[in-house]
Amino acid sequence: MRPTPLILASILLLAGGCRTTDPLINADPLTSGYAPPKAAEAIQPSRLPAPTADMSSSGMSSRGMSSRNGVRRVAYEPQAGEGPNLAPAPLQIPQAGGLPQSDYSLLDLEDIAMRNSPVIAMASARVRAAQGNWLQAGLPPNPNVGYVGQQLGSHGEAEQQGVFVGQKFITGKKLRLDRETAAWQVQQAERNLEAFRLRVLTDVRIGYYNVLIAQRRRDLTEELVSISLQGVDAAQALFRGEEVSEADPLRATVEAETARILLQNAINQHMESFRRLIAVLGVPDMPLQRIEGELKADDLSVTWQEELERLLAESPELSAAVANVEAARWAIRRAYAQVVPDITVFAVLQDDRSTGSSNGNLRVTLPLPLWNRNQGGIAQARAQATAADRAVDRLTLSLQARLATAFQSYESARNQVEQYSRKGGIIDNSKRTLDLIRAGYQAEEFGVLDLLTAQRTYFQTNLAYLDSLRGLSASVMEIRGLLLSGSLTK
């Protein structure tokens, strides 16, 4: 049975009515300020070639245009209310440029930390305690005074009443030796204070540079979001101009969404870095603000031999260990002096009622060092001095080992920074690649996947460069901070 002409005409009409809708014409774009182009607005001539007579004469309609890069072009024939919503909902993200600008320099932040850090206050109190111990160690014992009464029940006939004064005399220069020992303990506490102060300064500098890098990462990802939005607009324009398939704006939208995730992660990292910095400063209520400054790789250069010599000569940690050795040596001399007996003197002046006269008594006592010659105390002091001396050797080797670890991190980070930042390096090449592919995409020489890949590579290399720069600054600050063990914020 052959179809009637009416049925054939209906099929043709239905086929002619099939059209590809514009999936983005009614969708909310990534930015709230975007408005879809009006029907009367034409696509920029530089973006799309003008149609020629050869296209229509050769039988190539807009629906059957040849593909570019193997992708079939789909005609742009929108119908209101049809097609998927490709654009994501707008996301309100605070811009780093909207943060208040800080007036604090690095020196200002270091001064704030010195005045507010509880670690510095704790170490300062320990110094004052050591100074108090030094003062007390050299003070002689106080004299004793009292009342003496004998035969008090004789109704005044044979009573003897009086007063006495007693004094213990420290011999063998023990007080001077005690003060010498305490003086080195004061120096040890002062060196520990310097070590804590240097540790706080190192943590402030590390935190400061981490905030600078986090700010730069945030700015960079904001730029990535902006360029991704431009890519979405470009893909939409090409799609509306019948130059690409529906896949191009879809891919560009996915890339923009991914960039927004990276931006939110960068914001979170910025907040975390700033909060760690203000924790080191001792002012946890300081509001978030942009920190002024610049981190230059040229300022972060050290050498192994110079840093090793400076470390062994200036380390407050090593100075404190040496002070402990000197205190232990004076403690040995004090242990030997302990054998010299101290003298105790009592003088009594009393009234004797039985004779009606006054008289005085004098008593002097001192122990005889026959069995106890402080043998155990001397052995203990000598062993403690040996342990303190070996502790200096151990600390020296430990400092060299810590320097080796930090220097390896420094050299690796330094190599990465140079490879990324040198002329003709990774960043330069990725930027040049992005510019070439972006221009080629506008000229229809590359597809959207090439553009998105080049764009992603460029920003990934910049983020990796920032990570390398952060590792470089951290390793240099640790080296310059004389490699004190541990961070005060942990």
Tell me the domains of the chain and their CATH numbers: 104-480 (1.20.1600.10)
Q: What is the pLDDT of residue 335?
A: 94
38-56 pLDDT, tens digit per residue, is: 333 332 333 333 333 333 3
* Predicted model pTM: 0.66
182-238 pLDDT, tens digit per residue, is: 999 999 999 899 889 988 998 998 899 899 999 988 988 898 888 888 878 878 887
Instruction: List the chain residues with pLDDT less than 50.
Output: 1-94, 485-490
3-state secondary structure the chain: CCCCHHHHHHHHHHHHHCCCCCCCCCCCCCCCCCCCCCCCCCCCCCCCCCCCHHHHHCCCCHHHCCCECCECCCCCCCCCCCCCCCCCCCCCCCCHHHCCECCCCHHHHHHHHHHHCHHHHHHHHHHHHHHHHHHHHCCCCCCEEEEEEECCCCCCCCCEEEEEEEEEECCCCHHHHHHHHHHHHHHHHHHHHHHHHHHHHHHHHHHHHHHHHHHHHHHHHHHHHHHHHHHHHHHHHHHHCCCCCCHHHHHHHHHHHHHHHHHHHHHHHHHHHHHHHHHHHCCCCCCCCECCCCCCHHHCCCCHHHHHHHHHHHCHHHHHHHHHHHHHHHHHHHHHHCCCCCEEEEEEEEEECCCCEEEEEEEEECCCCCCCCCHHHHHHHHHHHHHHHHHHHHHHHHHHHHHHHHHHHHHHHHHHHHHHHCCCCHHHHHHHHHHHHHHHHHCCCCCHHHHHHHHHHHHHHHHHHHHHHHHHHHHHHHHHCCCCCCCCCC
Q: What is the pLDDT of residue 482?
A: 60
Q: What is the pLDDT of residue 463?
A: 87
Q: What is the pLDDT of residue 353?
A: 72
Q: What is the pLDDT of residue 273?
A: 92
Q: What is the pLDDT of residue 315?
A: 86
